Amino acid sequence: MERGGRWPGDGTAVLGVGLVAVGVVAWSALSPPLGDAVGACCLASAGLLVGFLAGSRRHVRVPEQAVEPSGDATISFTREGTVVSWNWAAERLFGYGAEHAIGRPMAQVGIHDVTDRRRAEQDRAASVAREQAALAEAERERDFAQLVIANAPIGIGVLEGPDHRARMVNPRTVELSGTTAAKLLGRSIDELVPEVAHVVRPVIDRVYDSGKPAVLRELAVPLPNGTTIYADVTYAPLPGDGGKPAGVIYLAQDVSDRKQAEAERQGLLAIAERARAEAESANRAKDEFLATLTHELRNPLAAIRNAVITARLDEPRRERALEIAWRQVDQLVRIVEDLLEVTRISRGRIQLRKERVSLATVLERVVERVRPQLDERGHALSVSLPSRGVELDADPARLEQVLDNLLVNAAKYTAPGGHIDVTGEYQGEEVVLRVRDNGRGIALEMLPRVFDLFAQAEGTLDRAECGLGIGLTVVQKLVELHGGRVAAFSEGPGTGAEFVVRLP
């Protein structure tokens, strides 16, 4: 209470541990000449309750000249609540005189101190106001959290219980799942993601046991529409009673685009690596081809040179020398023709002149041409065709070229004294030609590349004897120009080889 102040009021007034006044009330602090303020004096309208609260244990009496003329009931009392003054208006209000009231407790004269009760009521009111404010703030925080969760760009949900059932899912979770919230809520983890439940369940159990978050990276989750999404999923415990988690909250980030981009990047890296390996292989093949070409050209030229020298100096051996020279010239012509043929085929400059041809006729001309080479190496050749013959629509010159290359290849890769079989037959709408030898065979890893340009199997024979490796490339290209296909078969080195041509 400030010194010298006044506090008008309407209704019930409470001052310190003093009294209650009902009605129009005016409270005044006691001022000099009484010295320092020791209490308060209350003046009320006629018929109303008024009181004074002493500020010290000593009795303080309001001067009679100040209260007696007043028409308001004026009462003074000690801090302990003992009445020390009682004017005539108080006598009229309460019905008994000062001699009966002075010295008695206020409660006995009808004045009750309700300060503690009012203070408690005020405290309760303040507490209720604080609780209401806190509740309003909590509701605002809750609404804000719900707004954030509802608009979050990641899937958020809560799993509860031993079966890890969905208690809450946000719209992004529903969107990622490709279904509805009603089909998610209340479902166990085995029902939500049956395909990966065996992966997810142990992680959630570990979160319950440890109370620490856990993360699954790039979890593949099949969807009802048949597609699969990839997600980084974080599982974290929700605080519960006794320090144990009451549930698990998950945050699912869709990383399908990142996964696809990574797969594409890896694919491009793989393509680049294959291209690099193929380029290196092609470069090695080129080097090997040039080295082989050197041998292929040098050997016939050396033989021709020696034959010419012999023919000039040694009359008795002239005929044999000329025969050798002719054969080597033929070999050189074949090399050049094969090179030119590959170039023409690769540039699309070959045009087929198809006609109805007899396979027997074609084979007869080819065998006649390669017979010297077969005889030189001591190979036995067998040809088997149906008695009714085999006819097909083909370019006869190109078909001869195919069979010529296959027979020369068989003779070259078969040790002296070997055996070569040629067969032809109808199979459905196709004519099937087979050239089989009992030569060195083909390594299994070489089979997929046997028709590649410049490819040749490693062997024990001299490099020059192996040839340039372009004859089979010519075979494949010419067969494909006819709308057919060719394949090589072998069980490995030392088992021989078979080439099968299928033509429409």
pLDDT tens for residues 251-269?
A: 999 998 998 899 899 999 9
- Note the pLDDT of residue 282: 76
Q: Rounded to a whole number, what is the largest CA-CA distance in the chain?
A: 180
Percent of residues, the chain, with pLDDT higher than 90:
37
Q: What is the CATH number of domain 152-254?
A: 3.30.450.20
pLDDT band at residue 11 under the 50/70/90 scheme:
very low
Q: Is the pLDDT of residue 218 over 50?
A: yes
Sign of CA dihedral 93, 97, 103, 105: negative
- Name 159's bridge partners: 166, 248
Q: Is the pLDDT of residue 61 over 50?
A: no
- Note the pLDDT of residue 296: 64
The ranges assigned to domains in the chain are: 6-113, 152-254, 261-342, 350-503
Q: In what order do the strands lie in the sheet with 419-427?
A: 380-384, 419-427, 430-437, 497-503, 485-489
pLDDT band at residue 165 under the 50/70/90 scheme:
very high
Sign of CA dihedral 444, 450, 453, 458: positive
Stated length of the chain = 504
Collapsed DSSP state (helix, strand, coil) of residue 245: coil
CATH class of the domain whose range is 350-503: alpha beta
Q: Each residue of 457-503: pLDDT tens digit?
A: 444 334 344 455 678 888 999 999 999 999 999 999 999 999 999 99
pLDDT band at residue 145 under the 50/70/90 scheme:
confident
Sign of CA dihedral 110, 113, 117, 119: positive
Q: Each residue of 413-431: pLDDT tens digit?
A: 999 999 999 999 999 999 9
261-342: CATH, from 2.40.70, 1.10.4030, 1.10.287, 1.10.3470? 1.10.287
Cβ neighbours for 292, distance < 8 A, ≥ 6 positions apart:
456, 463, 464, 466, 467, 468, 469
Cβ neighbours for 118, distance < 8 A, ≥ 6 positions apart:
12, 14, 20
